[in-house]
Structure 1
Amino acid sequence: MRSSNYDKFPFVSITTEADACQTGWVAIAGVLRAALLAATSAPGQPQVLAVECYPGTDLAQLRQELTQALQPAQCVVADDLYLPDATIDALVAGPLTDDPVFGRLNGLTIKDFFDPQLLQAAQAALAGAAGQLVLVLGTGATLVCPSPAVLVYADLARWEIQLRQRRGEIANLGSANFTEKASLKYKRAFFVDWRAADRLKKQALPRADFLLDTNDPAAPKLISGADLRAGLAATVRRPFRVVPFFDPGVWGGQWLREVCDLPDGPPNYAWGFDCVPEENSLLLGFGDARVEIPSIDLVFAHPRELLGEAVHGRFGTEFPIRFDFLDTMGGGNLSLQVHPLTEYAFDKFGLAYTQDESYYMLAAEPGAVVYLGLKENVELPAMLADLQRAQDDPAAPFPAAEYINEFPARAHDHFLIPAGTVHCSGANGMVLEISATPYIFTFKLWDWDRLGLDGQPRPIHLTHGAANIQADRTTTWVEQNLVNQLQDVASGDGWREERTGLHECEFIETRRHWFTGPVPHHTNGGVQVLNLVQGTEAIVESPSSAFEPFVVHYAETFIVPAAVGAYTIRPHGAAVGTECATLKAYVRTQP
């Protein structure tokens, strides 16, 4: 057993009452049966149980269990009312483009997937089922029946969706592409399925009578909509963590396996996603039961309390800050890459903002480096020609040392990476990546002559990259602007605060606190994301006891909602008497 106190399954305790959550189909059916008996339907109308489903939900199991338990007179599956597969494929072809990774954000809705005539016929059939129990389920069930007697929302985490895609268990919305590459199914979900489904979720989830957690097919869980909404309201007024997930990669290392006590199965762990609310889950505790929901549900339900007025006004219901891990400890270099400039991201992909980022080194072996910016007097056309040559001829590797700076990397170094800056982490480093959220938009320039885990070349985006590389970000400029830009900010009894970045053209500010005693913090009306970058354990407390004390461990990322206001952090447990450190990020709201 590895010695690790990293919590892989953090949860927010909502209530100790065990009966608030029903587990298993028998218990769930009993609750729904009682809800239907208590519900009233208008004279001459059917009694409809609608189960609105997030794409990827196992509809076959859902239909089998509910029809067997409830014996409805009819069962209508929304997906059966969609346009033909080929028509939907043509509908989404424009936003998806022919690029293997990138598409374009768009305004497609779930209603666009429906055949209008089939939808109208289904609604007419419902009208003719007066007094009968009808089950309507699937993605778009609330479009088939906008006002059911009982509404259930069957939710599913995006990481679970990705795992099902990889296993070939599910296809994309309105498609039969079960055997398509998982990366292409993910791309279609990212640009089409999830965007359209989230638009409908924002309308359906706030009025749902029940939330059905379908992440574990063997143990479905049901809570009332009222308990869900109470849980979200409680979460947004206290510090919390989302559920991390981890994935291997061609360059992955071994640090995460040890520090986070991860399984030995995969050859490595390249990524650790510890704060990507678009894809992470949130666990809500009801007695001993844990209900898993996408953490983006919290953003949708309480954007102002979570993000703050200014951040919500700028980003809407998107969580703009991302913390994740990049592990090359005992692994290899990341791909040499660049992120799009804001105007390019908007013109090509419909993004309102781009992926500015930074590398904070949690650990580094001797000799570790970060590749950052161009060397002085580099001729960009010559570099691009060598990059193209390396793509065309595996026997002519790209001479990175001739063009790209290599900076020594040590623990607690902070490298700032505004969009347009060529960069990558070298081998034997452990990066806490702090960035804006549009994480899929990375242009790989060179991948060090290697194949992906699937044995195929990973996509290279040299044309996109060439349009965004900022050739004036050379050695001197990078040293003066992007490497360890430390500035003392404040200090007190047992603590000191430093500004570590980010660059002025990035919207995220980062502050590091070193402390042996309590450190005063305040959200100042904006969401904050922190990681305990040194020390075994710390405790987050409210000066006014507004929330229960919250313990965090080394390398854990946690979110402090804007509504929290004042809070303190101090060493806890075995860390008492030692110096700890947190790194905090927030959105700059003033120059």
Structure 2
Amino acid sequence: MLNNVKTDPVINKANHESENWRTSGQRLLPLQQTPAPDGYNIYPTHALGAGKISEGYETLAAWIIRHGQVQIDGYTGILWDTIQDSLNEIFHQQSLKVKWHLTEDALKDEETIEQMVRPFLGEPGAVWGTRTSLQLADFFDREKLAAMQPEPGYDLHIVIGTGAALVRKNIPLIYLDMPKNELQYRMRAGAVTNLGSSKTAAATEMYKRAYFVDWVVLNNYKQSLADRISIFADTQWGATLTWIKTQDLQAGIEQICQDTFRVRPWFEAGAWGGQWMKKNIPQLPLEEINLAWSFEMIVPENGVLFESDTYLFEIPFEWLMFLQHEAVLGKHADIFRYEFPIRFDFLDTFDGGNLSIQCHPALSYIREQFGETITQDETYYILDCKEDASVYLGFAENIDPVEFRTALENSQQQNKPVQITDYVQQHKASKHDLFLIPNSTVHSAGANNLVLEISATPYIFTFKMYDWLRPGLDGKPRPINIDHAFKNLDFSRQGALVKKELISAPALIEEGTDWQLWHLPTHAQHFYDVHRVEMDHAITFTTNGICEVMMLVEGTVIAVRTANGKETVYHYAETFVIPAAAESYTLINKGPGRAKVVKAFIKAEHPVFSTISYESTI
């Protein structure tokens, strides 16, 4: 996910210097709403009404001046110098004397922090670490934080930097945030560092530390601040920002969590990437070499866009869960708490290559080795494909595990190709097929597919065994994880059992004069299920207290009318959510021909539910 593509310059309004601060082939979010295309929209917005979003440092500075003392806290990846310089220039123009306290001055020394985080980063060079148990306060010298107090002779007193809210309570708090994709683009450019570090590292290493340490620590921390924040600011533009008062943001979040919403997707190139998304999503940059992934709804890394007076404001998705997880998840809120359990993403191999031959960890393994709570149980829904498309799934009859491992290790050591179909079954793929990939199952998507991957939320734990001898986009071999894989592979999933248990057989549940509801059964290990609605005109459902994630998989456009009477339009291949609190909704076909909508939802009961335990480090 962390390949270098393109570096964007930004003009810093404070010092007027050009900086290379983000590396990505994806364009920066427009500051203001642009006309939506007639089709898939990469910038789905949710209207707040007039006067809710403010733009620019001047407006934020005016708010700070009215309050005198403030704390400016925020996530890792914020360009703190830009924030401080931009505000300070305005204060200087107004002849205001400002006492700045920088939280970075209160950090523990870097060697101490490195020793703190090292146990959570795995062996040197390892792909994965373990979810941390650290808290943000562990990174700071508490006496130095406590010393950051107001001093006489200043007009303004500002504590700024990650951890600012640790200094004092009952002081107005501004929280700066940004979506995770933009944070990663800054990592790739070497513009930002990990929490408590002054040095950049290889992008993959920075991402690993972010995933297992920074994001865990800071998500728990910002959840603890929810009742204290006065202002939220979106800082992804660098040279400017947009901001919103907490009560207005909370009202907007509450509204969409009673209705329907869509997160902002983002897209990545990859070694096996294809051309379907570039050809079918007009807002994407054509200069990308390919697109392999779409983060349709991988909510640890997605944001939600709000709009007011054409200005845009993006909030990371976790805030919806912190503030409205009961409305979103309904009956399952107590089980999954602040974690959204289902993800949707695209795997594009059209005119591309095969994914690696891979598997995902067993539940006990992902918990013991990586500190995750649920594991990566997946399905492949074939949204589109060419005639020769296929999916690799399950083992051949009477496979010899020792022979298979030897072939894989020889390939890795000697750069020799493996005749993979000697060991792994290859199945023809057709539109609307659903392939079931419970954890520990060998699998791969073949070339010329557009796969809608419906899965449990974990998304980085892929044990690659064979990658077709190709390099990554950086020209280097991608990591191969044969040892991890063989500690998890289920060799009983072979022969005729594969088609019987791992390829879903649709069953008609209900039908009317112009609609049908189909069940696409998932595996017993999957805690979520899949239905497909096929309709000519309209059909109404109740949520029954359960959240549903949906996509229009055939047709051009539908509308969703919820119980409050509001209608929201969604186009082909767009992912959207019906929160449990919506109570009821009507799907309305607005295009020619029959529409087909896939929906995934959590099963009413599942054995894994009794084993889930989220421990907050707040």
Please give the range of the TM-score, normalised by the shorter of the 2 chains: over 0.9
How far residue 523 of structure 1 moved from its aligned partner, in angstroms, is: 1.6
Q: CA deviation at 1:206?
A: 3.2
Q: What's the TM-score once normalised by structure 1's chain length?
A: 0.93
**What is the one-letter code of the residue matched to 1:154?**
L
8 Å contact kept, 1:4–1:260: no
* 1:343 counterpart = 2:368: no
Task: Output one character per residue of 1:328-350: Cα deviation in whole Å (capped at 9) or x when no partner.
Answer: 00000001110001011111111
Alignment of 1:197-212 (within 5 A): 197-212=218-233
Q: In the alignment, is residue 579 of structure 1 matched against residue 617 of structure 2?
A: no
Secondary structure at 1:62 match in 2: helix
Partner of 1:511: 531
User: 1:96 aligned to 100, 121, 125, which one?
Assistant: 121
Give the Å deviation of 1:3: 8.7
Alpha-carbon deviations, 1:191-247, whole Å to 9, x = none? Answer: 111111111111223321111111112331121111111111112111111101001
Percent identity between the two aligned chains? 35
Aligned to 1:388: 409
Letter in 2 for 1:499: H
Q: Distance in 1 between matches of 2:232 and 2:246?
A: 6
SS in 2 for 1:209: strand
Q: What stretches of structure 2 of length at least 5 have no aligned partner?
A: 1-35, 607-618
The CA distance in 2 between the partners of 1:547 and 1:95, in whole Å, is 49
Residue of structure 1 in register with 2:74 after alignment = 53
- CA displacement at 1:129 relative to structure 2: 4.7
Partner of 2:285: 263
1:26 is aligned to 58
1:292-344 C-alpha deviation (Å, 9 max, x unpaired):
11122111111100111x32211120000000000000000001110001011
Q: Which residue does 1:287 correspond to in 2?
A: 309
Match for 2:47 among 13, 22, 26?
Answer: 13
Superposed CA offset, 1:537-578 (max 9, x none) = 011112x4x152011100000011110011010211xx14x1
Alignment of 1:127-526 (within 5 A): 129=152, 133-148=156-171, 150-178=172-200, 180-261=201-282, 262-308=284-330, 310-394=331-415, 396-526=416-546
Over residues 49-75 of structure 1, what are the superposed CA-to-partner deviations in whole Å (9 max), with x where a residue is unaligned? Answer: 101111111100111122333445311
Paired amino acid for 2:268? D
CA contact (8 A) 1:72 1:135 kept: no
Q: What is the rounded CA distance, in whole Å, between the counterparts of 1:5 and 1:318 in structure 2?
A: 30
State the Cα distance separating 1:527 from its structure 2 match: 1.1
2:165 alignment partner AA: T
Q: How many corresponding residue pairs? A: 565
Q: Contact 1:153 / 1:204 at 8 angstroms: preserved in 2?
A: no
What code does the residue aligned with 2:226 have? Answer: L
CA displacement at 1:130 relative to structure 2:
8.8
- SS of aligned partner of 2:226: helix
Instruction: In structure 2, give the amino acid aligned to 1:549.
Output: E
Residues 509-537 of structure 1, C-alpha deviations (whole Å, 9 max, x = no match): 00011110212222211111001000000
Deviation at 1:102, TM superposition (A): 0.7
1:34-53 deviations in Å (ceiling 9; x for gaps):
3x1xxxxxxxxxx5210111
Inter-partner Cα distance in structure 1 for 2:197 and 2:274: 36
Equivalent AA in structure 2 for residue 143 of structure 1: L
State the 1:4 CA deviation.
Answer: 5.9
Cα deviation, 1:83-142, whole Å, max 9, x if unaligned, reads 11122111111011125321101211110110234223x24xx16559853110111000
Q: Residues of 2 paired with 1:547 and 1:403: CA distance?
A: 54
Structure 1 SS opposite 2:47:
strand
Partner deviation per Cα, 1:141-190 (whole Å, 9 max, x = no partner)? 00022331x21111111111011111111111111232x11111111111
- The AA in structure 1 aligned to 2:325 is P
C-alpha displacement at 1:589, in angstroms?
Answer: 2.0
Of stretches 561-570 and 98-107 in structure 1, the one that deviates more from structure 2 is: 98-107
Aligned 8 A contact 1:153 1:205 in 2: no
Q: Deviations over 1:225-270 (max 9, x none)?
A: 1111111111211111110100100100000011112211110000
Amino acid at match of 2:121: L
Q: What is residue 43 of structure 1 aligned with on the other side?
A: none
Bigger mean CA deviation after superposition, 292-301 or 201-210: 201-210
Look up the equivalent residue of 1:324 and give its one-letter code.
D
What one-letter code is carried by the residue in structure 2 that aligns with 1:343? S
| Cross-structure match for 1:555 | 573
Partners of 2:199 and 2:168 lie apart in 1 by: 28
- Aligned counterparts of 1:430 and 1:589: Cα–Cα separation in 2: 30
**Structure 2 residue aligned with 1:74:** 99
1:44: which partner in 2?
A: none
Q: CA deviation at 1:20?
A: 2.3
TM-score (norm 2): 0.89
Find the residue that maps to 2:559 and give its secondary structure: strand
* 8 A Cα contact 1:521 1:568, kept in partner: yes
Q: Say whether the 8 Å CA contact 2:65–2:156 is kept in structure 1.
A: no
* DSSP-derived class of the 1:147 partner: coil
Amino acid at match of 1:156: M
Of residues 417-426 and 105-114 in structure 1, the stretch that sits farther from structure 2 once superposed is 105-114
- The match for 2:21 is none
CA distance in 2 between partners of 1:222 and 1:73 (Å)? 22
Distance 1:251 1:4, change over 3 A: farther
Q: Is the 8 A contact 2:53 2:307 kept in 1?
A: no
In structure 2, relative to structure 1, the CA distance for the partners of 1:215 and 1:206 (3 Å cut) is farther
Q: Give the SS at the match of 1:277.
A: coil
Q: Which amino acid aligns with 1:57?
A: I
SS at 1:512's partner residue?
A: strand
**Aligned amino acid, residue 11 of structure 1:** T
Where 2:566 maps in the other structure, the secondary structure is coil
* Deviation for aligned residue 1:506: 0.7
Match of 2:13? none
Distance across 1 between alignment mates of 2:439 and 2:595? 31
